[in-house]
Structure 1
Amino acid sequence: MLKRLNIYFKEMYPIVPRLLLGIIIFLEIHFILLLNYGVKTFSIGIGEVVGSFTIFSFLFTLRIADDLKDYETDLVLFPKRALPSGRVKKKDLKIFVTILIFITCILNFAFMNNIPFFIILYIYGGLMSVWFFKKHKIQKSLPLALVTHNPVQMIMNIYIISYTCIKYDLYPFTLTSFLVALTLYFPALIWEISRKIRAPKDETEYTTYSKLFGYKKVTRFVLILTLIDVVTNFLLVYRLNRIAVLVLALNAAWITWKFISYMKDPTQYKIVNKVERYTYVLETTMVLVVAIYLLVGYI
């Protein structure tokens, strides 16, 4: 079983990069919130470690749940993947994810201060894994799957925000906390839609947003979401680092140009590749803002 799981880890969820991602997501939201609240005295302890692991663990659990619930579809559309190809068995993933969830629960109940939000996060994840008991409706509707599944990113952000607010006794219901909740929600939403936009000649049996609504309309919608995302990040970093605002503005101008160019000719590149590059620059900038502020203060 361990050999088969190792195949799954390598192909579907590489451990080290995804663990690093969990740490970055947790600490980015944690410190962006603190810095915008003006908190300058803080400490990193077991809570931050467990919180970062929880983000990694939860995203891992979602990955496995998706592969299990989409197994029949993947047999047809993605037969070479680890699970549908038979190189990994369903039983392997079920045993592993049960152990992973058990460890995550023990750590949270032992060390975290936001247990109700942890429970809400995993209840929502559990409902996603069973299609909210409406598989016959949701599985057939790409937009319905989006509006029911994508909010999990927001709930995950709120899990982190709740920990930070409780630890530092911060009032949670502010514009700042609302913007921080959005800071990683919009990139996830933008990517999720963009990866299902294709040029007309590249459409297959696989259902995409471009097949449903036309690539121009969907691309224009994603552009609007991206500009909203830019505004939320401007508001969060403006007081912390003016140089970062310039970087974000240039990044926004670049991705806008790419969206417009794609609407004119969708055959020149895959728009999701440009969205990923935009996201990498955005998140790297946000992380650097935190790191620079913590090291040297205002610039």
Structure 2
Amino acid sequence: MFKRLAIYFREMYPLLPRFGLATIMFFEIYFVLLLNTGVKTFQIGFQEFIGVFTIFIFLMILRIADDFKDYETDRRLFPERALPSGRVCKKDLAVALSVIVSISVLLNLFFMNNQGWFLFLYIYGTLMSFWFFKKDKIQNSLPLALVTHNPVMMILNIYTITFVCYKYGLPLLSLPTILLAFTMYFPSLIWEISRKIRAPKDETEYVTYSKLFGYQQATRFVQVITLLDIVTNIILLWKISLLGVLVLVANVIWMTIRFQQYIQNPNHFNIKEQVERYTYITEITMVISLALYLLIGMLT
């Protein structure tokens, strides 16, 4: 079983990169929120490790749950993947899922300060795995699947936000918390839609947003969300790094040009790859800006 699980994690959920992603997600929210609310004294300990671990595990749970939900579709469209190919068994993933969920639940219930929000996150994730008991209706509607499933990423952000607010006595509802909930959610929404936009010549039986609404309309929608994303990032970064703000502005100008080029000629490049590059630049800019601000603060 362990050899089969090693295959699964290597191909479907690489552990070290995903743990690094979880660390970035947690501490980006953590420090952006504190710096935008005037808190300059940080106390990082065991609870913060649990927060990172929870994000890491929850993203793993979503990955495994998606493979269970899409098993029949993947057997037909993606037979080379670890689970539908038979190189990993459903039982292997079920055992792994039960162990990691149990560990995550125990750690949060015994050591964290936002147990209610944690339970809300896991309850929502569980309902997602059962298609909210409306499988026939949701599975057959790409837009409905988006509006019911994608918001879980915002709930995951709120899990971190509430932990920070409770620990440092900050208000749960404020401009920084609202902006953070959205600015950390928009990349997942942008990625989810852009990965299902294809040029007309590349369409297959796989259902995409470009097939449903046309590639131009789908691209324009992603463009609007991208502009909202960069505005929220700029507002949150304004007090931290003006140089970072300038990089974000240059990045969104470049991405706007790429959107227009794709709308005019979808055969020129893959829009998903361009969106991923934009997201990497945005997130790296935020992380580096935070790191430099904190480093300068420690040295002065």
Q: TM-score range by the shorter chain?
A: over 0.9
Q: Which residue of 2 aligns with 1:131?
A: 131
Paired letter, 1:187: P
**2:89 aligned partner, one-letter code:** K
Deviation string, structure 1 residues 30-52 (Cα, Å, up to 9, x no partner) = 11000000100111101110000
Aligned to 2:148: 148
After TM superposition, what 4+ stretches of structure 1 lie above 2 angstroms from structure 2?
A: none
Structure 1 CA distance, aligned partners of 2:93 and 2:283? 31
Tell me the alpha carbon deviations over residues 167-198 of structure 1, each in whole angstroms, 9 at most, x when there is no partner: 00001111111001112100110010000000
What is aligned with 1:162? 162
Structure-2-length-normalised TM-score: 0.98
Q: Distance in 2 between matches of 1:157 and 1:259?
A: 28
1:66 aligns with 2:66: yes
Q: Name the counterpart of 2:219.
A: 219
Alpha-carbon separation, structure 2, partners of 1:171 and 1:291: 25
Note the C-alpha offset of 1:240. Answer: 1.0
SS at match of 2:197: coil
Inter-partner Cα distance in structure 2 for 1:130 and 1:184: 25
Given the alignment of the two structures, is residue 184 of structure 1 paired with residue 184 of structure 2, yes or no?
Answer: yes
How far did 1:293 drift? 1.2
Q: Please report how far the alpha carbon of residue 297 of structure 1 lies from its aligned counterpart in structure 2 after TM superposition.
A: 3.8
Equivalent residue for 1:76?
Answer: 76
Report what 2:27 is aligned to.
27
Q: Secondary structure at the match of 1:239?
A: coil
Q: Gapped runs of 5+ residues in structure 1?
A: none
Tell me the equivalent position of 2:238: 238
Q: Which residue of 2 aligns with 1:195?
A: 195
Determine the structure 1 residue equivalent to 2:47. Answer: 47
- For residues 276 and 234 of structure 2, the distance between their equivalents in structure 1, rounded to whole angstroms, comes to 19
Instruction: Render the CA deviation track for 1:74-131: whole Å, top value 9, x for unaligned.
Output: 0101000000000000000000011000011111112110000000000000011000
Q: Measure, in 2, the Cα distance between the counterparts of 1:138 and 1:13.
A: 25
* Whole-Å separation in 1 of the counterparts to 2:21 and 2:137: 33
Report the RMSD for the aligned CA atoms in angstroms: 1.1
Aligned length: 299
Q: Matched residue of 1:292: which SS?
A: helix
Distance 1:234 1:26 in 2: 19
Residues of 2 paired with 1:87 and 1:28: CA distance? 36
Q: How high is the TM-score relative to the length of structure 1? A: 0.99
Q: Residue 256 of structure 1 aligns to a residue in which SS?
A: helix
For 2:148, the aligned partner's letter is T
Determine the structure 1 residue equivalent to 2:283: 283
Specify every segment of 5 or more residues in structure 2 that has no aligned partner in the other structure, as ranges: none
AA partner of residue 252 (structure 1): V
| Aligned equivalents of 2:277, 2:122: Cα separation in 1 | 30
Shift, 1:264, TM fit: 0.5
Distance 1:84 1:295 in 2: 47
One-letter code aligned to 1:180: L
Q: What is the match of residue 16 of structure 2?
A: 16
Q: Which amino acid aligns with 1:104?
A: S
2:204 counterpart of 1:204: yes
Give the Cα–Cα distance (whole angstroms) in 2 for the partners of residues 285 and 114 of structure 1.
Answer: 29
